[in-house]
Amino acid sequence: MPSTWKPTPRSVGGAPAVVAAIAATATLAVVAVAGVATAQPGVTDPRSSLDLGTRLAVNVGAGFVVNLLLGGALVALGPDYAARKLDEFRDDAGETVVWGLIVGIGVPIALAVLAITIIGLVVAIPGVFVLAVVGLVGSAVMVGIVGSFLTHGDDPDGTAVLVGALVLALATAIPVLGGLINWLVTLPGVGMVGHDLYRSWRD
């Protein structure tokens, strides 16, 4: 079924600003968490001495906090953008997955090929940074989308972010399968954000 969603100048043009704002918020959060961790003397990995159940609980808690920060930043800084991504996913989820494969697999392969040469490395290094930012914002988008579907909300809001953050934290904490689940869930969000940046660059 062809997509009925059509980008408007506002929906495309505002994407870079939203992406940059969320990326800055996420970066500050990561730096703050890293600073707290490094301030603890003699502690390398506090989970190493915990049993399996406790480690799973820690993983769920950490995942919930990260998802909550990302999803909360998106809803607070770009509520219109979050709503548009939800509509886009509802209109044609298949297209978002295709773009996710392009951005999540095709682009890293292209960057690796570019990095073989010195000139290509100049392009590949900032490309890796941009790809990481797209991954963060794509994760934030999917937190809101998952929560909106579970709460039957029309637009991502605080409740949707809470629900989405918890459900994704529980799912991605599953041993062995958690990483795969996280990649699959994030894929459409990465595709939508990457597609937005591509349209902005092309226009």
**What was the pLDDT predicted at 165?**
96
* Confidence bin at 96 (pLDDT 50/70/90): very high
Select the highest-mean-pLDDT range: 46-55, 96-105, 151-160: 96-105
**What was the pLDDT predicted at 118?**
86
* Confidence bin at 22 (pLDDT 50/70/90): low
Handedness of CA 123, 124, 129, 134 (dihedral sign): positive
**What was the pLDDT predicted at 23?**
59
Once rounded to an integer, what is the mean pLDDT over residues 116-122? Answer: 87
pTM: 0.76
What are the structural domain ranges in the chain?
51-202
**What was the pLDDT predicted at 47?**
52
When comparing pLDDT for 58 and 2, which is higher?
58
* Confidence bin at 86 (pLDDT 50/70/90): very high
